[in-house]
Structure 1
Amino acid sequence: MAISQELLNKITSKLDIVEIVSSSGVTLTKKGANYVGLCPFHDDKNPSLTVSPDKQIYKCFSCGAGGNSITYIKEKENIPFIDAVKKAADLAGITVDIESKYSEEQMRYFKIMENAKDFYQLYLNNTEEGLKALAYLKARDIDESMIERFQIGLASSESKMLYNEFKKQFSELDLLNVGLIRKTGDDYYDTFQSRIIFPLKNEDGHIVGFSGRIYNKDDRFAKYLNSSDNAIFNKGNILYNFSDAKTEIKKTNFVYLFEGFMDVIALHKIGINNTAAIMGTSLTDNQIRLIQTVTNNVILSLDGDEAGIHATQKAIFLLHRYKFNTRVILLPDGLDPDDYLKKYGKDKLKQFYENNSVSAIDYLYNIEKRKLNKDDVESKLAFKNSIFNVLHEYNSIALNEIILKKLSEEIDISYESLVADYNRQPKQRIITTPNAVTKTVQVDKEEQIKNRFLTAEQKLVELSVASKRNCMEIISGLDNSFVDKDNYHLFLHLREYYNQYEEFDFGLFESNLSAKEKEKLDQALKPKYDFDANIKDLINDVKAYVIIENEKLANAGSPEEKLGKKIKKKRHITRFGDRGNN
């Protein structure tokens, strides 16, 4: 059934906007022909919300929120428009048959996940194991109200507890498809065992996955285990706490963005609720599009280790391309919010988050400045070039003047010389050198081609770190091909790591690397400016380059022309062959 304006008018005519707003917890006071109250869509101190029973509309003259009963239900409950229409129709006593945003299969999966959430919560609150887990949560200052707020549960240490219960209600295929169980041979077992469980929701509040954290000390297992990508879950498409925080984000018109859910919970303890977490270190385009629906202001607060710094740099440039206003908060001494809370208390943490954000450009400048040695000419030039590349990314004449004047004082080079150098340097991708200092280098055409494919290989390393599925696909696809043998060694380490663990833990993985391998990993995880491609194309590029390097160049033409033609030919052959296998 289509949603016509006639249907919408019919629904709203049967509803009382004053009753709808009042029932949501807003206290309304009659003022003339209208009613006034505190607006629930921003941090309202003086009543700025006006509700008109004659026109059946509401309007906030402070934040601009307004509409009819359906609009109010949609915005207040953070639900899709279609769901708001259905709910309004139910309240109006009107039967509607509207096609849902989700398929019947997806709705069936959501029901399974909701049941799983209830199962995990029941196990946490009614078992001997649950008592131990509750004690662990209490020690982390997570009380009953927070357990309820974040719907925290517990997976049993028994390998088939959930499976044995759920197979009575749901098919094994469905349980596999949503990632609640796994299969080895003919045997099924629970995905999550002996872990505290945190539900993961999509933008509409449907549970699509879970994250499990160990609470018993056992170094055999990764600290966190997330649902694998499946029929309804893709980690890059969701933000932890987003569906529950949308109203608060709209009120404040900005969001604090963290790496993990424990950071979100720590901020909840101090009364800051306009928060979300990216569930890892790489912010994605889809996650940014979600944020765009509620605000274009972000304060990044990722971890202060090298991986977190790389992730923050990358996120800043990605957010900039989507026209976001971005600021950054970096807690001192490498502390995360929970550590800072324990060390300094709630008031200090709240004060820090309210008063210590810096602009994205200042953050990028200060991060690059860490490498600067003012007594070393090469270091000063490298710092200059890295700042040039940041400015190229922002492409702002006014910003150029501000930063170049600051840079002039920093490295004792005249502003005029810096402007002249900047205008001569073409915009190009940043290439990381072996000494881990970011430089922009001018090389001949053949070397540029090689550097491009080395960057492609580094991107494959980054994607392998992102997920086990990516890693196995990449290693299989490369089939021992590589541009840099040190990157090949990283792939071998990654394969060995993922044979033991489901989720990537940076510290655990890095602890098994040599100093040189750590350096190579650091280079691979640095932001790749203006570089985007899918896994299949990246693999084909690396393999094509390797094949060509093992051939002798043809006699005619310049080296770069011959190499370019051969690469183009090999890529065409590889991709034509791929199409033939579909």
Structure 2
Amino acid sequence: MMKFPAGFLDKVKKQTDIVALIGQGGVTLEARGNEYWGLSPFIQETTASFHVRPASQDFHCFATDKHGDAIDWVQFHHNCPFVDAVKYLAERANMEIPAPPAGQPVRDHAQQARRKAAQAAAQFCMSYFQDCLKQDRGQAARTYLKNSRGVQDPARFGLGFCPPGDALQHAASQAGHTIESLLDAGVMRLSERNKKHYPIFGGRLVLPIRDRRSRPVGFAGRVLDGEQSDIKYLNSPATLLFDKKSVLYGADTVRFNSRKGDLSSLILVEGYFDTITLQEAGFPAVASMGTAVTQDQLEAAWSMASTIITCLDGNQAGQIASERVLDGALPLLDGKRRMSFVTLPADLDPDAFYRQDHGVGFDQALKAAEPLSERILNTVRVAQRVEDRVSALDRARACLSALTDKDWRTSLAAALQEADLCHRASLSRLSDLNKGSLTSLARLRIRNRLQDTILLLVARLSPEDLRAALPKLPPLDPAYDTILAQIVADPTIKVAGKVDLVVPHPGLDAPSLLDQSRNREERNRPGKEAGKGRDRILEDLRRISEQLRDLG
């Protein structure tokens, strides 16, 4: 972590009016003598318990016992680390950030100056777009926000309008911003056709994308109703300021707009207006700005709250993206991090789903959110056909393998075992693979081959041929003997050559035979002579059984 010179932090705090700082954060403060009181920004309350003392430059919330100085307030309000909070206050007070001490990396001064110019240009553009929205030329955008989106307070989210043509460049130039800084701010682009610069968001509603310190780092432009465009949304390109993969839209306003104030969970959605609608309704929503949720975004979300509630669109693309979110989350899980999933009705996004009944259904969906572990378990539970069960078990094994936290790995394996969803020995070995036991790995692979081969035997032979083959089987686990005997005793479980019955056995059932099937194509290949297939399968069983005995 960056270390600041002695005395610098005191100077930053002295240059900060804590009353003004907290007031700008949305807290209404009332003077009582030399002190100020207001409603807690951390919880909902009706009696003021939030206390600010200008003389000592500190605050104290008696409702939550949160307290501190200006730096602590910025950390609470913007969900940012200590160093970022200090830099925010220093920049706010027009103080130079001191160079790092010897031994710490020194930033390129030219690059730093270029970045500072881009930040200034982005700040100007955000204000300019907001002003344009309020003017006559922003009438269509205001109508769209009110009638099509139901946005109550556009200013809260910094919404604006970018006029077409060269108006933006002309206004920015008059304010002292160069075309290079506008390019770096992600609002202008060079045409490859005529080599002229043009505004990326001309004629569009503009949504600023801000970091947790409320600084614009990029922009998004939404086409208005009635305008012809094949592209509904445009985003700023990757710039010095903007890396879409690491930013969450709405992260700067989520705490202030949340009903609870003090975040314990975040709702992760796809879109800008999903976020705006939910935040205006008091839900702690942030957006990944598309279906491609990155691990950097998950890390950013978990840095603000311990639980992520994934609530992507209800269409097929959204549900596929939810599975990718689960995959990305598995290596990042630890004892403090949680994730759950909300499944929306098909073809509805969170914005539309909330507005169709003023949030009644959305509230119910949130309460029914499926924890990550249950999502994995339920994938296996609901699988009925052999092929579906094979895929589900493969999925469960892949999830176990992706987990890096030992407690998570052990607990999920135990949950699968307790539900009798997979073969116990296979799962216990799989959950222990991180111990590096080659013997366990070899035994796991051989036992999976044994399960595959028994499945092949069951799928390939008729009950009569299977009954004739039983005496020729090598010594197996008694559980297999029980299942095979039940299969022979009840021919109705053979449907189109597939095992469709879940056999009620305390430790193993027919779908567990599919624990790891690597022979799906072979198993479904028709036209082989049954007797010849039986002899080869029996020989495979004898060989596999001997290999297991050799391993002990």
TM-score for both structures, normalised by structure 1: 0.60
Is the 8 Å Cα contact of residues 29 and 36 (structure 2) preserved in structure 1? Answer: no
Aligned equivalent of 2:424, options 411, 414, 419 = 419
Instruction: Call closer, same or farther: CA 1:326–1:63 in 2, change over 3 Å.
Output: farther
**SS of residue in 2 equivalent to 1:396:** helix
Deviation of the 1:162 alpha carbon: 2.4
User: Which residue matches 1:461?
Assistant: none
Name the stretch that deviates more: 45-54 or 179-188.
45-54
Q: Does 1:397 align with 2:384?
A: no
Deviation of the 1:198 alpha carbon: 0.9
User: Which residue matches 2:243?
Assistant: 234
Q: Distance in 2 between matches of 1:350 and 1:48?
A: 32
Deviation of the 1:278 alpha carbon: 0.8
Instruction: Call closer, same or farther: CA 1:13–1:426 in 2, change over 3 Å.
Output: closer
List gaps (5 residues or longer) in structure 1: 409-416, 429-439, 445-582
List gaps (5 residues or longer) in structure 2: 100-106, 434-444, 450-552
Deviation of the 1:349 alpha carbon: 4.4
Deviation of the 1:402 alpha carbon: 2.6
Is the 8 Å Cα contact of residues 303 and 336 (structure 1) preserved in structure 2? Answer: yes
User: Which residue matches 2:299?
Assistant: 289
User: Which residue matches 2:97?
Assistant: 98
Is the 8 Å Cα contact of residues 163 and 181 (structure 1) preserved in structure 2? Answer: no
Q: Does 1:152 align with 2:159?
A: yes
1:131-160 per-position Cα deviation (integer Å, ceiling 9, x unaligned): 2232222222434x422112222233x443
**SS of residue in 2 equivalent to 1:124:** helix
Q: Distance in 1 between matches of 2:131 and 2:63?
A: 44
Instruction: Call closer, same or farther: CA 1:167–1:313 in 2, change over 3 Å.
Output: same
Instruction: Call closer, same or farther: CA 1:427–1:99 in 2, change over 3 Å.
Output: same
Aligned equivalent of 1:339, options 328, 349, 352 = 352
Q: Which amino acid aligns with 1:281?
A: T
Aligned equivalent of 1:116, options 108, 125, 128 = 125
Q: Does 1:325 align with 2:333?
A: no
User: Which residue matches 1:261?
Assistant: 272
Instruction: Call closer, same or farther: CA 1:361–1:44 in 2, change over 3 Å.
Output: farther
User: Which residue matches 1:487?
Assistant: none
Aligned equivalent of 1:278, options 262, 276, 288 = 288
User: Which residue matches 1:358?
Assistant: 370
Larger Rg: 2
Q: Distance in 1 between matches of 2:427 and 2:11?
A: 63
Q: Which amino acid aligns with 1:186?
A: K
1:62-89 per-position Cα deviation (integer Å, ceiling 9, x unaligned): 655332344235534667322454389x
Q: Which amino acid aligns with 1:86?
A: A
Aligned equivalent of 1:25, options 22, 28, 35 = 28
Is the 8 Å Cα contact of residues 75 and 247 (structure 1) preserved in structure 2? Answer: no
Instruction: Call closer, same or farther: CA 1:78–1:99 in 2, change over 3 Å.
Output: farther
Q: Distance in 1 between matches of 2:14 and 2:202?
A: 52
Is the 8 Å Cα contact of residues 257 and 279 (structure 2) preserved in structure 1? Answer: no
Deviation of the 1:261 alpha carbon: 0.7
Q: Does 1:86 align with 2:90?
A: yes
Deviation of the 1:39 alpha carbon: 3.7
Is the 8 Å Cα contact of residues 263 and 305 (structure 2) preserved in structure 1? Answer: no
Is the 8 Å Cα contact of residues 313 and 364 (structure 1) preserved in structure 2? Answer: no
Provide the aligned length of Structure 1 versus Structure 2. 410
User: Which residue matches 2:146?
Assistant: 138
Name the stretch that deviates more: 223-232 or 350-359.
350-359
Q: Does 1:209 align with 2:212?
A: no
User: Which residue matches 2:325?
Assistant: 315
Instruction: Call closer, same or farther: CA 1:159–1:252 in 2, change over 3 Å.
Output: same
Deviation of the 1:13 alpha carbon: 7.5
User: Which residue matches 1:486?
Assistant: none
**SS of residue in 2 equivalent to 1:252:** coil
Deviation of the 1:424 alpha carbon: 5.6
Q: Distance in 2 between matches of 1:171 and 1:269?
A: 36
* Percent identity between the two aligned chains: 21
User: Which residue matches 2:262?
Assistant: 251
**SS of residue in 1 equivalent to 2:282:** coil
**SS of residue in 1 equivalent to 2:343:** coil
Q: Does 1:67 align with 2:68?
A: yes
Please give the root-mean-square deviation of Cα atoms over the aligned residues, in Å.
4.1
TM-score for both structures, normalised by structure 2: 0.63
Aligned equivalent of 1:300, options 295, 305, 310 = 310
Instruction: Call closer, same or farther: CA 1:331–1:162 in 2, change over 3 Å.
Output: same
Deviation of the 1:251 alpha carbon: 0.4
Instruction: Call closer, same or farther: CA 1:133–1:58 in 2, change over 3 Å.
Output: closer
Is the 8 Å Cα contact of residues 41 and 248 (structure 1) preserved in structure 2? Answer: no
Q: Which amino acid aligns with 2:158?
A: Q
Q: Distance in 1 between matches of 2:391 and 2:420?
A: 12
Q: Distance in 2 between matches of 1:352 and 1:264?
A: 18
1:541-572 per-position Cα deviation (integer Å, ceiling 9, x unaligned): xxxxxxxxxxxxxxxxxxxxxxxxxxxxxxxx
Q: Does 1:388 align with 2:394?
A: no
